[in-house]
Structure 1
Amino acid sequence: MTLLITLDALQTLDAIERRQSFAAAAEELHRVPSAVSYTINKLEEDLGVALFDRSRRKAELTAIGRLVLEEGRKILKAAEQLTALARQAADGWEVELRICIDSILSCDPIYDLIAAFQRVQPKTEIRLTEEVLGGSWDALCDDRCDLVIGAEGAPPAPGLALHSLGKVKFGFAVAAGHALTELPQPLPASAIQDYPTVIVADSSQRLPVRSAGLLDGRSRIIVPGIEHKMEVQRKGLGVGYLPLHRITQQLAEGQLVLLELDAPRPPTEISAAWRRGNTGKALKWFVDRLKKMHFDTERGILTQNP
């Protein structure tokens, strides 16, 4: 397929319009005026249209010429961006870095990392996604992300590198005024059987689904993420374990109340994980900084190692 409109022709057309004359455009493009005129004449001949109205003293763009110029500038911009991306990739920087954040964490600590990264390499596009339970490992194993932050438990497959961030603590939380708050503690499992347990659905697409904090209740309310679980329990629709760092405000304001069970849920270890062999500079930048950080169980943020 022969292209009738070349980048050179579009650059010439753009220079003429910006400089308001063929001679000035030729000077900018380091060509003789006759070469600029030839380029435009050839383009008009190939397209079979007039791009300039030459009936006047000063050549002006026709309506079609204006259309070609405006759309052509989009092509020139895209060509510039493609050139920059190619050079960026050749230098080892990814065009896009896909970061998966496990639902157990708030995204806020990650935003600070992204802000710092943008000051170093603003050209790399950052794509954030959220997964739940085994869904984080699933996304990494299935190549739907390059880096997982907050993956729970052990990796399900070989070939993955990880850095432990710390442990997340959980508390059994109910809405203020819930009937369970009137019972003596610690509560036996039988005490909660009359109340729905709120469960976060595992978002795995290929790996076997995981479960966490399941309680022996008669019914369950299944929600897509921690935020939904917090809200459902705050409204008193169900009960269950919640990560303590995510509910500090609700506890302080008296919206949620912590109760003690006779079989408390142990803390869950969370990690940053990535595929071995990925040598991208953007991934390395994030990994290097995550290796210097740990999860603060009280404040729920990533802080520098002491």
Structure 2
Amino acid sequence: MSSPITLDALKVLDAIERKKSFAAAADELFRVPSAISYTVNKLEDDLGIALFDRSKRKAELTTVGKMIIEQGRLILKATDELTHMAKQSADGWESELRICIDSVLLFQPIYTLIAQFQKEYPWINIRVSEEVFGGTWDSLVADRSDLIIGATGDPYNSDFAVHPLGDIDFVFAVANDHPLVNEQPPVSNKTIKEYPSIVVADSSRNLPGRSAGLLDGQSRITVPTVEKKIEAHLLGLGVGYLPLFRIEAQLESGELVTIPLANDESRNSELSMAWRKDNQGKALAWFVNSIQEMAAELIEPS
């Protein structure tokens, strides 16, 4: 059953309400007043409902008329947006871009880029997710994301384009009141194993999980993100390596302390962003180009 409430009828009602008269609405829509009156009268007859109260000198909207206009404007807006999206999609623009950010990174620089993008392309939806270790690659392999930022290690197949973002350094750090602070440096692995290691859980659903900085036989406390790992370190719950650029403020304030280790090995990780080679979306290209220009900001303190 087709509805008598057509888009044209909604446009007429919208113009009448905004212009406060049938004649002014006719001028705006480039129609004669009789055509406006005919559209309104036919809609009222088809619905069996009065949209205007004509008992007064100047016709006023009824309660039902106001409701139809209020809801009708949402329909008109959605129709305009759909039309625009269809045209943009035909021109290579996605309706939505899914960005996955590894937990090791700061989100603020990406949020700044999103704000810039939205000013230019407000009709495109952005979906941001967070993954850890292999979970970042997993989201791309499983097609849960279009662009991953902060991935570590090699890509799992040749379907992906990869661009390096830079290296980040990790340091072994504990809370300033942790017992390890009072140990004679350099601290041995045997001593370290007496305390729980704070571990970020790999969020991969299908790919093999990854981990780093663990000693055999050491107990662990597993947390969901790097941010939560830093919080756990600050509370003195355990020990482990942390990305240096994420804790420079806490090291400077003395809340966290780096511990020299007997088996101290330089720990760093190369981060990359990756996307599917066959994805030719213009929104994806915009972010890829923009991130290449500001890659350093992703791994530096704000």
Q: TM-score range by the shorter chain?
A: over 0.9
Shift in Å at residue 23 of structure 1? 1.9
**Relative to structure 1, is the Cα distance of residues 289 and 24 closer, same or farther in structure 2, using a 3 angstrom cutoff?**
closer
Shift in Å at residue 300 of structure 1? 4.8
The equivalent residue for 2:145 is 145
Q: Check whether the contact 2:198–2:232 (CA below 8 A) recurs between aligned residues.
A: yes
Worse-matched range after superposition: 151-160 or 196-205: 151-160
The equivalent residue for 1:242 is 242
DSSP-derived class of the 1:126 partner = strand
Q: Normalising by the residue count of structure 1, what TM-score does the alignment of the two structures yield?
A: 0.92
Aligned partners of 2:297, 2:51: CA distance in 1, in Å? 65
Q: Which runs of 5+ in 2 are unaligned?
A: none
**Relative to structure 1, is the Cα distance of residues 257 and 129 closer, same or farther in structure 2, using a 3 angstrom cutoff?**
same
Matches within 5 A, 1:81-160: 81-160=81-160
The equivalent residue for 1:266 is 267
1:181-207, Cα deviation, whole Å (9 max, x unpaired): 222333222111210110001111222
Aligned partners of 2:268, 2:218: CA distance in 1, in Å? 25
The sequence identity of aligned pairs, in percent, is: 57
Q: Check whether the contact 1:192–1:217 (CA below 8 A) recurs between aligned residues.
A: no
Worse-matched range after superposition: 290-299 or 30-39: 290-299
Aligned partners of 2:28, 2:96: CA distance in 1, in Å? 35
Aligned length: 301
Shift in Å at residue 115 of structure 1? 3.5
The equivalent residue for 2:63 is 63
**Relative to structure 1, is the Cα distance of residues 297 and 187 closer, same or farther in structure 2, using a 3 angstrom cutoff?**
farther
Worse-matched range after superposition: 235-244 or 109-118: 109-118
The equivalent residue for 1:304 is none
Aligned partners of 1:264, 1:186: CA distance in 2, in Å? 12
- Over the residues paired in the alignment, what is the CA RMSD in angstroms? 1.9
Aligned partners of 1:297, 1:24: CA distance in 2, in Å? 55
**Relative to structure 1, is the Cα distance of residues 169 and 26 closer, same or farther in structure 2, using a 3 angstrom cutoff?**
same
The equivalent residue for 1:178 is 178
The equivalent residue for 2:224 is 224
Q: Normalising by the residue count of structure 2, what TM-score does the alignment of the two structures yield?
A: 0.93
1:115-164, Cα deviation, whole Å (9 max, x unpaired): 43334433322222111111111111111111111111111233011101
Aligned partners of 1:119, 1:72: CA distance in 2, in Å? 26
Q: Check whether the contact 2:81–2:123 (CA below 8 A) recurs between aligned residues.
A: no
Aligned partners of 1:279, 1:170: CA distance in 2, in Å? 35
Shift in Å at residue 99 of structure 1? 1.2
Aligned partners of 2:213, 2:155: CA distance in 1, in Å? 19
